[in-house]
Structure 1
Amino acid sequence: MSHITVDQIEQARKRIASTIHPTPVVPSDTLSALCDTSVYLKLEHQQRTGSFKLRGATNAVLSLSEDERARGVVGVSTGNHGRGLAYAARQNGVKCIICMSNLVPQNKIDGIRAQGAEVRIIGQSQDDAQIEVDRLVAEEGMTMIPPFDHPDIIAGQGTVGLESAEAVPELQMALVQVSGGGLISGVAAALRSRIPGIHIIGVSMERGAAMHTCLKAGKPIFVEEKATLADSLGGGIGLDNAYTFPMTRDLVDEIVLVSETEIAQAIRHAYWKESQIIEGSGAVTLAALLSDKVRPTGPALALLSGGNIDMSLHHRIISGENVDVTEQD
């Protein structure tokens, strides 16, 4: 069975209730006026550790056996999963090692270390970092908790969808970030169980949009990871993907890609018009609306998934500077 059920998502909500907090859903006057229909923002960047990733990581850690807890957990991350996993592990007295590539911004590395986890920097991609994860599992008996393609991770992320549907039951459209697919798989499963006719749009960046490329190919394939303002959406979906590829394929209506310029504009909009500080990955849903690539005809929700942006970079962007993080390619 490659699909996670709403029952699993409901069980996850009960399991993680004492760690995470439900995040607000608020109307956006500016986007509602722009789109000529009600647009709501799900402020998940206000979650503990600054992103939705805490939900899945907590659900996975709390689902471990006593023996697995004793041997510790390891994961590969572009930042937010590592931060969430490190937090969940520390809360439960579990050793945690996070493996990351050189593409991960320093502020995200520092954020993980601040949660008490060991960080190991390996290579130029998540695939490079995964090699060290595999070694730790094989040689030290640690349990790998992957960032997206895992039932407990997907079920935990799906709790965002339950909260969204309960806050705005009349929703006709939801815009959700898509990278490895853990978030959109869980959210789509939850939303479709509550609002069967809802239109679900995945949003990613143009540079290295792994799930989009794999869906076009009809199967998981290797996709080069590239520098982008939406750094948390970087990385492949895994050639042996078992859950998020089929769930995204079956539950998501379309995927829209946004440019680096559009992502920067969305970060500016979030700050100046919505009073929200969000990172590039959290801003892609706003970018899809602001660029008119998505035009809702009824009540719509845009998920703001993370806020862990380097504040000096944020300052440059909101001040109008043309920040090009792609120059290192």
Structure 2
Amino acid sequence: MSSLTLADVYRARQRLAGRVAPTPLVASASLTERSGVPVYLKLETVQPTGSFKLRGATNALAQLAQEGVRRVVTASTGNHGRALAYAAHALGIEAAVCMSALVPQNKVRAVAALGARIVIAGHSQDDAQIEAQRLVRKEGYAFVPPFDDARVIAGQATIGLEILEALPDAATLIVPLSGGGLFSGVAFAAKAIRPDVTMIGVSMARGAAMHASLAAGKPVPVDELETLADSLGGGIGLDNRHTFAMTRALIDDVVLLDEASIARGIVHAYREERLVVEGAAAVGIAALLDGRIGHIERQADSSDTAGPIVVVLSGANIDMAQHLRIISDN
């Protein structure tokens, strides 16, 4: 597993101070009523770039800037690229972002608007990764991984610190699961503070690479398919150094959702919580709506309190025309 320490996470929070503000933890009356235990939402949707990715990107670039690095490149399904471009602009660093043709155009435009060089390569996150590595070799960029990097993980882990400081008795954290940077970071910090906290990872059924890798016992390739949870797409890297081992050690359960469930999560967030969220952020809400969180089901046979629950809402960067169609159709 990674050599990441809790001290690294606290140092990351110091680097983020003045650059990335803590996000709200708000009670959800509707989900509390449905679940029978207190439910809170961690609103990473309010970040300036619309997702949690700003934490990891800022932590990584702040350290690279101190080392004299002036050009960085990454591969992204959209949100990490946007965060990297934002952080690079703030630090006066040149940024290039490689994305596949599957990345929604609203996310491509958002990255370009922040001044980053855009490179479209292939039809998968793996294709974008290959192109990013070519730029490292041929043009001298420094590569900033979207998730499998200790600096990036430490930045995302600051979410776990904020949750446990605001809600020390949190019993279950529900976190979107993709490459594992968000999940492993939040789980690492949370379990370092509260070893008994339950960590649930949620993903889409279509192309869930981390789930397939956990089942296989090693990183495996998975076809990247179109999904409402597009930010959760892509592989975890066959040479994964950090997030696979960390996720395997820290995860308590994985929930996979079909597309209809993800759509219901988006609709619920909008109609009941007054929040616009992308599909990847809606998966935690959807898992609760579907009754897929195990300890809630066990509550019927026990008088023990099974909460509070915290759902991490990872991002708001959904194409608004798509959002309107989903809301109208449901």
- TM-score category of the 2 structures, normalised to the smaller one: over 0.9
> What's the Cα RMSD here?
1.1
User: How far off is 1:65 after superposition?
Assistant: 4.9
- For this pair of structures, how many residues does the alignment match? 320
Structure 2 equivalent of residue 262 of structure 1:
261
Distance 2:5 2:246 in 1: 11
Structure 2 equivalent of residue 327 of structure 1:
none
Structure 2: stretches of 5+ with no match in the other structure: 297-305
Map Cα deviations across residues 83-116 of structure 1 (whole Å, 9 max, x no partner): 0000000001100000000000000000101111
Structure 1 equivalent of residue 300 of structure 2:
none
Distance 2:107 2:12 in 1: 26
SS at structure 2 position matched to 1:69: coil
SS at structure 2 position matched to 1:245: helix
Distance 1:177 1:17 in 2: 25
Q: Is the 8 A contact 1:68 1:142 kept in 2?
A: no
Distance 1:260 1:9 in 2: 34
Distance 1:58 1:175 in 2: 24
Distance 1:138 1:69 in 2: 15
Q: Is the 8 A contact 2:65 2:91 kept in 1?
A: no
Q: More displaced, 80-89 or 3-12?
A: 3-12
Q: Is the 8 A contact 1:177 1:204 kept in 2?
A: yes
Instruction: Answer yes or no: is 1:310 the counterpart of 2:310.
Output: no
Distance 2:252 2:122 in 1: 35
Q: More displaced, 125-134 or 95-104?
A: 125-134
Distance 1:236 1:310 in 2: 23
Q: TM-score, normalised by structure 2?
A: 0.95
Q: 1:67 to 1:156 in 2, by over 3 A?
A: closer
Instruction: Answer yes or no: is 1:169 the counterpart of 2:178.
Output: no
Show structure 1 runs of 4+ deviating over 6 A: none
Q: More displaced, 224-233 or 134-143?
A: 134-143
Amino acid in structure 1 at the alignment position of 2:243: T
Q: Is the 8 A contact 2:76 2:125 kept in 1?
A: yes
Distance 1:234 1:149 in 2: 15
User: How far off is 1:66 after superposition?
Assistant: 5.3
Residues 1-329 of structure 1: pairs in structure 2 closer than 5 A: 2-65=2-65, 68-70=68-70, 72-295=71-294, 296=296, 297-320=306-329
Q: 1:13 to 1:63 in 2, by over 3 A?
A: same
Distance 1:131 1:191 in 2: 33
Amino acid in structure 2 at the alignment position of 1:41: L
User: How far off is 1:320 after superposition?
Assistant: 2.2
Percent identity between the aligned chains?
Answer: 54
